[in-house]
Structures are given as structure tokens and as C-alpha cells.
């Protein structure tokens, strides 16, 4: 194939993701993800990448910019707009010993390959005894005025399948460490990247290619004594903001970031409830049947004796994500809503 | 049995008036059926029944205004009480002479029932009503109470609607004071006791009034006295010692001078001030009898605040003569007369019933020869001055003569004091009363 | 997400007969108690009527019944707290029928009613306030511009509400010791602002403030709910 020129896109930098860190060495959420992919591609020849526009274009969000040049078209494949085929191809390749990392341009399009994901990928090992180490990646979540075709949180749909580990990191370090763990895991994994965080969050991220974050490990992002907020994804940052304001009012909030939403780290959550006795489960997937509904259930069942108030949930309704900005803002939990919910919980 | 209270319709609404009973004693009620109409300074409303059952008692008359939380009605909702004993007499009355006294049955039944009740872990303890949500006990509250053994009835709820929160239980078990809030009484009738002593009227078995009996709720003061007395009995290692004192000279002195005393000082001269004065001296000689326990320490004041037990219409109250060690008998007599008078007219200030370092009770005028008083916590002892009586006694040269004698005794806390000290203390009181020339101290 | 409870709004035009309105209001309250209907707010005017609350005494009605009738008014004893007050043309009457929940706070409800009246008057340029030292209601100095009286149904649902004088004929108040306060007078928005302030100008403001203060999202009540009120319009 003739060599192609890569235009510098929105990420606007050179080929190696690590070279795209800020001057003081911090990496954005997006660059951290790119670094994880690059390092795993370098580490293990069996890792291959496929997706719509990931090669020549460098990815819709420019995550994979420079990968085609470095790793070649046999390992970085542009696909047709055919999600079912992307997943089916990944399953087949995995059966043959490859470790595919398949990108969906938006998580909303994953449902075009729903059957391949839930009936095939999720169950193939159970049916046949053959491992399928496929990692699916997709930008998910709303709050960016992208409306209901480009803002979904699909994790509940695929958690239901039962055979796929699902991660929703909130911080760049967590994103890099978890994606590496996902690629190295021999099970099907789904790595959801919250698109609102791509360029908005940056921090110092390890350069050690062996720095992994274990799947199904939650983390206390802010210690506190009075109320626990269990959350994940972009909501973690809103929870932290609310916690700052609440601290000024004398309410000490502990924020537990699930990081992996299926299977969840029950122990960390319960340990937090043992401390505070009050739980608010905050999540961006829909209220009914969203991830938080499960978390609340686990808390009620396994931490009952430690509760000083009912477990409360805060999540958007089961409703298409609105397009109009004021409507989308009203739809998603905002910092003020989180504060109000914590107030209600504290006053119970 | 469900007790219906004057409801709380808002934080600032503190009382309500029963305008009209909508149900009478004996009427059936369904859940949520209106029971009575009330008027508060903000709104009127009818109050619905929380349970289905039969109205057994209307506790308050129409037109009466009562504070929020006051029990105004009782409904038998079939939840059952230990009332078996007291309702038996009517059914089992026989014409035969001298039947086994049926009132004796309930007390005998009660101890047998108590262990059975403790074996049931799940039902919530009966909680004093301190707000519409004071009965809500969250799982962590129950767990902490179970682990610490604390009685939740003693824990004040700072949560919404009076709910006891986890923080409240933790504060109570860590020793911070969490006294149950008292109603708006103007005077705490008994000295405030420390947190360790802040127990607990363990609910006695329920024995409602039966045929031929009346029931009325305990007054706030009666409940406080009951709690205080029970706490003292449970917490002090009470022992008791008595001496017999020859007060012949005192009796004669008083007879001779009482009119002049009254004329000069405007108060009646009784034996109490003289005994108090004698006791104060003994307390100064034996300061441990004036002390109290603080955790693992003994606190010994350098002053004497003499508590004087006063009986009045509402029960018992112990006003305190502060700094009695600096007073002569006249001053003590005046102070006692003033405090007693104001006690009886309900005019004591809260700080006048707190801070006693020792207490004297004087049932003598009512005729008792010998008493075994209950220690007024946190004191180390309480002295009882009983009735002065002319008795034949052995005097010098083994002759028998009639003298005015009195038994003076003291209940004392063996945690602080030992028998020898208690006896020597009383011996000193006796010595003072038998040898002092009070005439000088009385200025007569 | 701000939470607004869905609620019904009734604004029957004209002067609504007091007895019918009162009965219909109680019926709605019973349905609200049973959770059959959402919170409901009624805004209307009455033909002239003196209503006596629980604390009203006979000597607080200064005119005899003949005089009242001759002037076209009526007298009714009702189940709210408080003393005598007057309702009539030119006065905006608002009856919020709200569920107060498991721990009812009646005092808070009264404060919210006052708040609605205060904000409404402020919108029009009249400075009014509560007077905790005198009585529930909304005052301009020593004169009351908005009377408030509430009753609860089974302690959980509110009845009656507020009466805001817009361009009421205040001479009616000479017939009673208003609110049982002989030393305090009454006033109206017309008098305070020195221009005619009709109910139609005030009602939309009051409704908007009621929605905000009580946290309600109004929808028009179904026709069958509003029918009894409309049918009782006398003018």
C-alpha cells in the first residue's frame, strides 16, 4: 500500500502518543488511552486494531493517529460501517489466536452489532471452551450536545450479557492502566471512554508499560466520613465538585469510583458504607436498570446493618438524551442536583 | 396498646387544643379514621388513627391544650400487653372469704415475663415518643445499640423528626452527654447527674388499670424522681450506719429560745439547722464524705453545698444551701426556710437544685424513727434526721433516766467510703450535737 | 434536574359561589388524600361572603345578618382556623390542595403561602412583608393585604389558603373585626399602588410564584375537575 500522509488532526501532534503529553508531562484522558494502545501493540504482536476510520483518518477523535504508520495496515485496519462484521471478525480472529481491539466510532453504534456481542462474543467461551480475548472500545456518554444518537451509556445492555467485563474509567491513569489490563485479559472486555473527558481531564500518568490497574477494582477518589457517593465515568468529576462545596458546609463526602462497572468491586463499596452509613449512587446510565440500580441493591443487601438511611440513587430518566442544551442539562445530574441529593440523604 | 399523641404539625407548633373527640371510649376505629379535632395556633385539623382497634381511653378533656407529644388517647389494637394479671380479678372473684389477693399476681408474673421478653431479639424496644420519627431505628443504630448495650430510650435523637441517628448513638456510647430532652419544666427537680449516672428508667412491666382502678400518666417530676432513685440504687454500693444521739440539751435550748429566735430572725427554729451545722463540721473533718466519683477519680470540694430534701405537692425536691460551710446556724436556718418555702411554691431556680455535695433528709417531723434513705447522686452519703423521742436511757452511774433521743443515720456509698470512716463521721456528728453550745451560735 | 411535582391548575372565571367551591375543594382534598389526583391549585374569586374560622366569635361580626344580606353578601362558618375574613370581587383567592407528606409541616406551608403573596406584590412594586409579631398573613405596615387561613385534612392535605386584595371594595371589611384584630386594618394592592390593580393582572403572577414556591409543574386540570367550579359561577 502507498504510504499516506497523516494530517494533524484535533489532537494536533506527532506520531507517538507519549510525545503528545503536555509540557509538564501530563497526559489527557485521550492521550493516556492512545499510550495504552501503543504500548500494548508494541508489547504483543498478536494485538491488532480495527474500526471505522481508525487507520488513515486516525480515528474520529484522533485517538489512533499515527498508529497506521507505526504498525502497518495488517495490524491497524479500517473497516466498513458494519458493526456486526467488526465484532464477528474480532471473534473469528480471536479464535485464531489474535488479540483484537475493536473500536466503535460511537458507543451508540454498538447495538448494530448487538447480536454478535451478546449472543456470540459473550458466550463463545462457554459454548466452545475457546477463549476470545477481544477488547471492544467506544466513546460513550453525553453532556457534549451530541444528542441521542451519539451520547448513549450502553454498559447496562452489555453487563446483562454476563460474559463481558466492562470498564468506565474517569481519570487518565485509570484509563491507561485499565485498558492495558483489558487487552491482556483473555476474556471479552468492553472499554468505554467517556467522550466528555477526552480532552478535559489531564494528569500525570505512568510511563511504565507494565503499570496496570486491576479490572474490578474500585478506588476511593476522595475520603470522607458522612456520606458515600458511589459513581463512575464523567459523574465522578461532578461528584468531586459537589463534595468540595459540601465540605464547605461541613458535610464530609467520600467518593468511590467504581472504575469497572461489571463485575463491580463490592468490597470497596461496602467498606465505604461501613464508614459513612449513607449511600448515594450516582450514575449516568439510566435510572431504571442502569448500573447504579445494581450497586444500590448490593449495598442494601450486603451492607444493610451499616445503613443509617435508605440507599438513594441519582441518575437520568430512561429517556433519549436531549439535543437542546438546557434540556440536556436538565436531563443529566448536575453538581447542584448532587448536592441536593446529599443534603436529602444527610437529613434523613 | 397504641398511645395516640398530640401530633407535631411543624417545628414551631408546640401545643394543640383538643376541640372535639370524634370517637369515644369503646368505639371501634379503622386505620386512618379521624379520632379528634385539634386546633393549633397555625392550623386546625382532624387527627387520623394510625391503627385499627378500639378506643380504650380518652386522657384529656375537650378544650384542653397540651404540648405536642402528650398522650391524649389510648387504642387497643390487639398488640397485647402484660395486662393478664390485673384484668383477672374481675373474672375470678369468688364469694369465699379471704381469696388469694389477686393484686399479688401481676408482680409475680412480671419477673417471669421479663426474661422471656429479653429472649425476643427482633421487635423494636418501646421508645419514648420524642417526635414523629423517634421510633425509626435504622439498621446501624440497632447494631450499635446491640453491641454497646446502650438503651436507646436514653438517647436523644437529633435527626429529622427526632430520629436517633448513628451519630447520636456513637456520641452516647462514647460518654458524651446525650440526655433525653425534658419537657418545658421550669425546674429540674433533682440535681443533674453525670453521664455515667444518666440512666434509665427501665420500663417496668405493663400493668394497666383494671376494674376499680384509675390510671393517670406519671408527671414529669415523678418520672425524674423514679429515674434518679433507680439509678442511685443501681449505681451506688449503698451501706447504712446509725447512731443514737442524746439531744436533750438541744430540745431544752429550742424550747427556751424558739420564740425569741422567731422574733429576731423571722424564721422558725427547728432541729434541722443545728444538725446541719453539726454535720458540716463533720464533713470538714472527714472530707471524703463530701466527695464524689468522677470516672476513676475522686473529686473533693473544699466547700459544702448542703442539699436539704423537701417534700412538696409534686413529690420530692432537694434544694441546695450553697456554701453552707460559711454559714452559722442562723444563716443555715434562714436559707433552709427560704428554699423550702420557694420549693413548695414552685419558685426555685434550676441552679438552686444542683451542686449538692452532701444531703440531709428529715422525715422526723412526720414520725419515722429510723429511715434508710437513697443516696442523692453524685453524693457519697445522705444523712437522715428522724423523730426525736423521749426514751428511757442509761445515764451516768448506770441510772435510768428519760432523755430526748434521736436516731441519726446515714446511707453511704461503699465505693468511696468504708465502714470505719462512715462510723467515725457519724460519731463526730453525734459528738457535736451532744457537746456544742448552740446558744452562742444562735446569737441568743 | 430541578424537581417539579406535576400539579393541576384550575382558574374558573367569574365569581364562584362559596358553598359550591368549598364543597368541591373538600372533595378534591379527599381525592388528593387517596392519591387519586395530583396536587391541585385553584385560583378564583367569590361573590361577597364573610367566613368565620374556628376562633371567630359572634361579636366579631359587626353588621347584623340583615345588613349583610341587603348588601348582597352572606355569612359562613367554616372549618379553617382563624377568625372572620371577607372574600369578594376584586380579591384573588388561591386554594392550594397539596399533600404534605409523612411529616407534615403546617407552619412551613403557611410561610410558603406568605412567600407567594410577597413575591407577587413585589412584582407589582408593592413592598409587603410577614409580621410574625402580629399574625400569619402579608402586611403593609399595620394593614393586611393578604389573609391566610389553612386547615389540614387528616393532617396530610391542605385546605383553604390565601386571599389577596387586588381591587377589592375594602368597605366590606367594616362589617367584621378582620382576622380578629381590632387594631389592625386591611388594604389592597390598588390602595398601595395608587392605581387600579385588577385580579386579572395579579393572578398570572401569583400562579407562577405558587409554582416556584411549592415546586409544582402546572397542567390545566381536566374538564371534569373544573366543571363544578365553572357551574357555580354567579357572575
- For the residues B72-90, what does the mean pLDDT come to? 59
The 10s digit of each residue's pLDDT in A81-137 is 999 999 999 999 999 999 999 999 999 999 999 999 999 999 999 999 999 999 999
Q: What is the pLDDT of residue B78?
A: 77
Does B149 score more than 90 pLDDT? no
Largest CA distance in chain B: 85
Q: Report the alpha-carbon distance of residue C106 to residue B11 in Å, rounded.
A: 9
The 10s digit of each residue's pLDDT in A307-329 is 999 999 999 999 999 999 999 99
Which of A147, A173, A204 is the C-terminal boundary of a domain? A204
- What is the separation of C-alpha B60 from the centre of its chain, rounded to a whole number of angstroms? 25
Q: What is the pLDDT of residue A30?
A: 96
Cβ separation of C155 and B9 shorter than 8 Å?
yes
Cβ separation of C110 and B43 shorter than 8 Å?
yes
Which position has the higher pLDDT, B323 or C179? B323
Which of A174, A204, A234 is the C-terminal boundary of a domain? A204
The Cα-based distances of A57 to A48, A54, A69, A192, B37 in angstroms read: 17, 6, 11, 21, 77
Residue numbers of the domain that contains A289: 219-347
Helices marked H in A29-171: 29-43, 67-71, 83-95, 114-115, 124-128, 155-159
Residue A270 near chain B (CB below 8 Å):
no
Give the pLDDT band of residue B114 (cuts 50, 70, 90): very low
In a domain, A143, yes or no: yes
Helix (H, G, I), strand (E, B) or coil at B222: helix
CATH number at residue A46: 3.40.50.970
Is A169 in the same domain as A264? no
Interface test with C, best of B11, B42, B49, B163 (most C CBs within 10 A): B42
Does B350 score more than 70 pLDDT? yes
Give the pLDDT band of residue A1 (cuts 50, 70, 90): very low
Q: What is the pLDDT of residue A339?
A: 96
Contacts of A333 in chain C (CB under 8 A): 1
Q: What percent of chain B has pLDDT over 90?
A: 42
CA angle, A9 as apex, A4 and A10 as ends, to 5°? 165
Q: Pseudo-torsion of CA B193, B197, B198, B201, nearest 10°?
A: -120
Residue B200, sorted as left (phi over 0), alpha (psi -120 to 50) or beta, turns out to be beta
Interface test with A, best of C1, C102, C103 (most A CBs within 10 A): C1
Q: Report the alpha-carbon distance of residue C170 to residue C48 in Å, rounded.
A: 11
Does B189 score more than 50 pLDDT? no
Quote the minimal CA–CA distance from B41 to chain C in Å. 8
Does A14 score more than 60 pLDDT? no
Residue of chain C nearest B49, judged by CA positions: C154
CA-nearest of C88, C89, C109 to C178 is C88
Interface test with B, best of A225, A270, A272, A277 (most B CBs within 10 A): A277
In a domain, A125, yes or no: yes
In a domain, A2, yes or no: no
In a domain, B159, yes or no: no
Is A224 in the same domain as A335? yes
CB atoms within 10 A of CB B401: 11
CB atoms within 10 A of CB A143: 21
The chains found to touch A (3+ Cβ pairs under 8 angstroms) are B, C
Is A146 in the same domain as A267? no
- For the residues B108-117, what does the mean pLDDT come to? 39
Say whether the peptide bond before residue B378 is cis (omega within 30 degrees of 0). Answer: yes
The 10s digit of each residue's pLDDT in A186-219 is 999 999 999 999 999 999 999 999 999 999 999 9
Cβ separation of B9 and C150 shorter than 8 Å?
no
Residue of chain C nearest B32, judged by CA positions: C154
Q: What percent of chain B has pLDDT over 70?
A: 82
Residue B160 near chain C (CB below 8 Å):
yes
Does B101 score more than 50 pLDDT? no
The 10s digit of each residue's pLDDT in B42-52 is 788 999 998 88
- For the residues C106-114, what does the mean pLDDT come to? 92
Which residue shows C-alpha cell 448536575?
Answer: A334
CATH number at residue B358: 3.30.559.10
Q: What is the pLDDT of residue B371?
A: 93
- Angle between helices B271-285 and B419-435 in degrees, nearest 10: 130
- In a 13 Å sphere around the CA of B288, the CA atoms on its Cβ side amount to 15
Give the pLDDT band of residue C2 (cuts 50, 70, 90): low
CATH number at residue C87: 3.30.930.10
Give one DSSP letter per residue of B260-307, joined into a string. Answer: HHHHHHSS---HHHHHHHHHHHHHHHSGGGG-EEETTEEE--SS--EE
Q: Report the alpha-carbon distance of residue B442 to residue B431 in Å, rounded.
A: 18
Quote the minimal CA–CA distance from A202 to chain C in Å. 28
Does B226 score more than 90 pLDDT? no
Count of the separate structural domains present in chain C:
1
Contacts of A306 in chain B (CB under 8 A): 139-140, 143
Cβ separation of B166 and A277 shorter than 8 Å?
yes
Helix (H, G, I), strand (E, B) or coil at C218: strand
Residue A85 near chain C (CB below 8 Å):
no
Is A140 in the same domain as A273? no
Contact B291, B416 (CB under 8 A): yes
In a domain, B99, yes or no: no
Residue B30 near chain C (CB below 8 Å):
no
Residue of chain A nearest C103, judged by CA positions: A348
In a domain, A7, yes or no: no
Residue numbers of the domain that contains B250: 230-441
Q: What percent of chain C has pLDDT over 90?
A: 71
CA-nearest of A58, A190, A13, A50 to A111 is A190
Contacts of A305 in chain B (CB under 8 A): 139-140, 142-143
Q: Report the alpha-carbon distance of residue B257 to residue C124 in Å, rounded.
A: 84
Is A107 in the same domain as A181? yes
Does B83 score more than 70 pLDDT? no
Is A145 in the same domain as A278? no
CATH number at residue A319: 3.40.50.920
Q: What is the pLDDT of residue B179?
A: 41
Contacts of B139 in chain A (CB under 8 A): 304-308
Q: Report the alpha-carbon distance of residue A229 to residue A239 in Å, rounded.
A: 7
Q: DSSP code of B137? A: B
Residue numbers of the domain that contains C200: 5-231
Is A296 in the same domain as A192? no
Q: DSSP code of B53? A: E
Q: Which residues of B374-396 are buried (b: 16+ CB within 10 A; e: fewer)?
A: bbbbbbbbbbbbbbbeeeeeeee
Does B175 score more than 90 pLDDT? no
C-alpha cell at A332: 443529566
In a domain, B118, yes or no: no
The 10s digit of each residue's pLDDT in C116-149 is 999 999 999 999 999 888 788 999 999 999 999 9
In a domain, A276, yes or no: yes
Give the pLDDT band of residue B104 (cuts 50, 70, 90): very low
Cβ separation of A308 and B140 shorter than 8 Å?
yes
Q: What is the pLDDT of residue B127?
A: 57
Residue of chain C nearest A327, judged by CA positions: C1
Q: What is the pLDDT of residue B2?
A: 86
Q: How many residues does chain B have?
A: 444
- For the residues C47-61, what does the mean pLDDT come to? 88
Is A49 in the same domain as A198? yes
- What is the separation of C-alpha A279 from the centre of its chain, rounded to a whole number of angstroms? 22
Is A161 in the same domain as A245? no
Count of the separate structural domains present in chain A:
2
Q: What is the pLDDT of residue B428?
A: 96
CA-nearest of C24, C27, C6 to C16 is C24
Cβ separation of A308 and B160 shorter than 8 Å?
no
C-alpha cell at A247: 465540605
Q: What is the pLDDT of residue B128?
A: 60
Q: Report the alpha-carbon distance of residue A335 to residue A238 in Å, rounded.
A: 6
Residue of chain C nearest A332, judged by CA positions: C1
In a domain, B35, yes or no: no
- What is the separation of C-alpha B283 from the centre of its chain, rounded to a whole number of angstroms? 25
Give the pLDDT band of residue C234 (cuts 50, 70, 90): confident
Among the options A125, A150, A204, A319, which is catalytic? Answer: A150
Which residue shows C-alpha cell 376541640?
Answer: B19
Which of A176, A204, A232 is the C-terminal boundary of a domain? A204
Quote the minimal CA–CA distance from B7 to chain A in Å. 20
Q: What is the pLDDT of residue C101?
A: 82
CA-nearest of A210, A180, A187, A186 to A41 is A180
Amino acid at each position: 500500500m502507498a504510504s499516506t500522509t497523516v494530517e494533524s488532526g484535533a489532537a494536533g501532534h506527532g506520531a507517538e502518543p507519549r510525545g503528545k503529553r503536555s509540557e509538564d508531562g501530563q497526559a489527557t484522558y485521550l492521550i493516556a488511552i492512545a499510550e495504552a494502545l501503543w504500548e500494548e501493540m508494541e508489547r504483543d504482536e498478536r494485538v491488532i486494531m480495527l474500526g471505522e476510520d481508525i487507520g488513515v483518518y486516525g480515528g474520529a477523535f484522533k485517538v489512533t493517529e499515527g498508529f497506521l504508520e507505526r504498525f502497518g495496515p495488517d495490524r491497524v485496519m479500517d473497516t466498513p460501517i458494519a458493526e456486526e462484521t467488526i465484532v464477528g471478525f474480532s471473534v473469528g480472529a480471536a479464535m485464531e489466536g489474535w488479540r483484537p481491539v475493536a473500536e466503535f466510532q460511537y458507543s451508540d453504534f454498538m447495538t448494530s452489532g448487538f447480536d454478535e456481542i451478546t449472543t456470540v462474543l459473550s458466550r463463545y467461551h462457554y459454548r466452545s471452551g475457546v477463549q476470545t480475548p477481544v477488547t471492544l472500545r467506544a466513546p460513550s456518554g453525553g453532556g457534549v450536545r451530541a444528542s441521542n444518537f451519539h451520547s448513549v451509556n450502553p454498559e447496562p445492555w452489555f453487563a446483562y450479557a454476563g460474559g463481558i467485563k466492562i470498564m468506565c474509567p474517569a481519570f487518565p491513569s485509570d484509563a491507561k492502566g485499565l485498558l492495558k489490563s483489558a487487552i491482556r485479559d483473555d476474556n471479552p472486555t468492553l472499554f468505554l471512554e467517556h467522550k466528555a473527558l477526552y480532552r478535559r481531564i489531564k494528569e500525570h500518568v505512568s510511563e511504565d508499560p507494565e503499570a496496570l490497574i486491576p479490572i474490578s477494582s474500585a478506588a476511593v477518589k476522595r475520603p470522607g466520613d458522612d456520606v458515600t457517593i458511589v459513581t463512575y465515568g464523567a459523574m465522578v468529576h461532578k461528584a468531586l465538585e459537589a463534595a468540595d462545596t459540601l465540605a464547605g458546609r461541613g458535610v464530609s463526602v467520600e467518593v468511590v469510583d467504581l472504575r469497572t462497572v461489571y463485575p463491580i468491586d463490592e468490597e470497596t463499596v461496602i467498606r465505604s458504607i461501613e464508614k459513612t452509613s449513607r449511600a448515594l449512587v450516582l450514575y449516568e446510565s439510566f435510572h431504571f436498570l442502569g448500573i447504579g440500580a445494581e450497586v444500590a441493591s448490593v449495598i442494601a443487601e450486603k451492607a444493610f446493618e451499616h445503613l443509617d438511611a435508605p440507599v438513594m440513587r441519582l441518575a437520568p430518566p430512561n429517556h433519549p438524551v436531549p439535543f437542546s442544551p438546557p434540556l440536556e442539562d436538565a436531563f443529566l445530574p448536575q453538581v447542584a442536583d448532587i448536592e441536593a441529593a446529599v443534603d436529602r440523604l444527610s437529613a434523613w | 396498646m397504641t398511645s395516640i399523641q398530640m401530633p407535631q404539625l411543624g417545628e414551631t407548633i408546640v401545643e394543640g387544643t383538643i376541640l372535639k373527640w370524634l370517637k369515644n371510649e369503646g368505639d371501634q376505629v379503622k386505620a386512618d379514621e379521624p379520632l379528634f379535632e385539634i386546633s393549633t395556633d397555625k392550623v386546625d385539623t382532624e387527627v387520623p388513627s394510625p391503627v385499627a382497634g378500639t378506643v380504650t381511653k380518652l386522657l384529656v378533656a375537650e378544650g384542653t391544650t397540651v404540648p405536642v407529644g402528650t398522650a391524649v388517647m389510648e387504642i387497643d389494637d390487639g398488640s397485647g400487653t402484660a395486662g393478664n394479671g390485673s384484668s383477672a380479678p374481675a373474672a375470678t372473684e369468688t364469694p369465699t372469704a379471704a381469696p388469694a389477693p389477686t393484686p399479688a399476681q401481676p408482680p409475680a408474673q412480671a419477673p417471669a415475663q421479663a426474661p422471656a421478653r429479653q429472649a425476643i431479639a427482633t421487635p423494636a424496644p418501646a421508645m419514648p415518643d420524642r417526635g414523629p420519627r423517634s421510633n425509626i431505628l435504622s439498621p446501624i443504630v440497632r447494631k450499635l445499640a446491640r453491641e454497646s448495650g446502650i438503651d436507646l430510650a436514653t438517647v436523644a435523637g437529633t435527626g429529622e423528626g427526632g430520629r436517633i441517628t448513628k451519630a447520636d448513638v456513637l456520641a452516647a456510647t462514647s460518654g458524651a452527654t446525650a440526655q433525653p430532652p425534658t419537657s418545658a419544666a421550669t425546674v429540674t427537680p433533682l440535681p443533674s447527674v453525670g453521664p455515667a449516672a444518666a440512666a434509665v428508667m427501665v420500663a417496668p412491666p405493663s400493668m394497666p388499670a383494671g376494674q376499680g382502678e384509675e390510671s393517670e400518666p406519671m408527671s414529669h417530676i415523678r418520672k425524674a424522681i423514679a429515674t434518679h432513685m433507680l439509678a442511685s440504687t443501681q449505681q451506688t454500693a449503698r451501706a447504712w450506719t446509725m447512731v443514737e444521739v442524746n439531744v436533750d440539751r438541744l430540745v431544752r435550748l429550742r424550747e427556751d429560745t424558739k420564740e425569741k429566735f422567731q422574733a429576731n430572725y423571722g424564721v422558725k427554729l427547728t432541729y434541722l439547722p443545728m444538725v446541719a451545722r453539726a454535720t458540716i463540721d463533720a464533713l470538714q473533718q472527714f472530707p471524703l464524705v463530701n466527695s464524689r466519683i468522677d470516672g476513676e477519680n475522686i473529686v473533693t470540694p473544699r466547700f459544702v453545698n448542703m442539699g436539704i430534701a423537701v417534700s412538696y405537692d409534686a413529690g420530692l425536691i432537694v434544694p441546695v444551701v450553697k456554701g453552707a460551710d460559711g454559714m452559722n446556724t442562723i444563716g443555715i436556718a434562714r436559707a433552709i426556710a427560704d428554699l423550702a418555702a420557694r420549693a413548695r411554691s414552685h419558685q426555685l431556680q434550676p441552679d438552686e437544685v444542683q451542686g449538692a455535695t452532701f444531703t440531709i433528709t428529715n422525715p422526723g417531723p412526720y414520725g419515722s424513727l429510723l429511715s434508710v434513705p437513697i443516696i442523692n447522686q453524685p453524693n457519697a452519703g445522705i444523712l437522715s434526721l428522724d423523730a426525736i423521742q423521749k426514751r428511757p436511757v442509761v445515764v451516768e452511774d448506770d441510772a435510768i433516766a428519760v432523755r430526748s433521743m434521736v436516731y441519726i443515720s446515714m446511707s453511704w456509698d461503699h465505693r468511696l467510703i468504708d465502714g470505719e470512716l462512715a462510723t467515725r463521721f457519724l460519731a463526730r456528728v453525734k459528738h457535736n450535737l451532744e457537746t456544742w453550745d448552740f446558744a452562742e451560735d444562735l446569737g441568743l | 434536574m430541578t424537581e417539579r411535582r406535576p400539579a393541576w391548575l384550575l382558574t374558573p372565571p367569574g365569581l364562584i359561589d362559596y358553598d359550591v367551591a368549598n364543597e368541591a375543594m373538600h372533595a378534591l382534598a379527599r381525592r388528593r388524600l387517596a392519591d387519586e389526583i395530583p396536587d391541585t391549585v385553584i385560583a378564583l374569586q367569590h361573590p361577597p361572603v364573610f367566613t368565620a374560622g374556628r376562633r371567630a366569635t359572634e361579636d366579631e361580626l359587626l353588621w347584623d345578618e340583615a345588613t349583610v344580606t341587603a348588601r348582597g353578601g352572606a355569612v359562613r362558618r367554616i372549618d379553617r382556623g382563624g377568625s372572620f375574613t371577607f372574600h369578594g370581587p376584586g380579591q384573588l383567592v388561591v386554594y392550594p390542595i397539596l399533600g404534605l407528606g409523612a411529616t407534615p409541616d403546617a407552619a412551613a406551608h403557611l410561610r410558603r403561602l406568605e412567600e407567594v403573596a410577597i413575591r407577587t406584590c413585589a412584582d407589582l412594586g408593592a413592598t409587603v412583608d410577614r409580621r410574625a409579631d402580629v399574625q400569619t398573613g402579608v402586611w403593609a405596615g399595620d394593614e393586611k393585604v393578604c389573609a391566610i387561613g389553612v386547615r389540614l385534612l387528616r393532617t396530610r392535605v391542605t385546605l383553604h389558603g390565601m386571599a389577596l386584595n387586588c381591587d377589592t371594595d375594602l368597605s366590606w371589611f367594616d362589617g367584621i373585626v378582620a382576622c380578629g384584630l381590632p387594631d389592625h386594618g386591611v388594604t389592597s394592592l390598588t390602595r398601595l399602588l395608587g392605581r387600579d390593580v385588577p385580579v386579572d393582572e395579579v393572578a398570572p403572577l401569583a400562579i407562577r410564584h405558587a409554582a416556584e414556591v411549592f415546586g409544582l409543574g402546572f397542567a390545566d386540570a381536566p374538564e371534569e375537575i373544573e366543571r363544578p367550579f365553572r357551574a357555580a359561577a354567579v357572575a
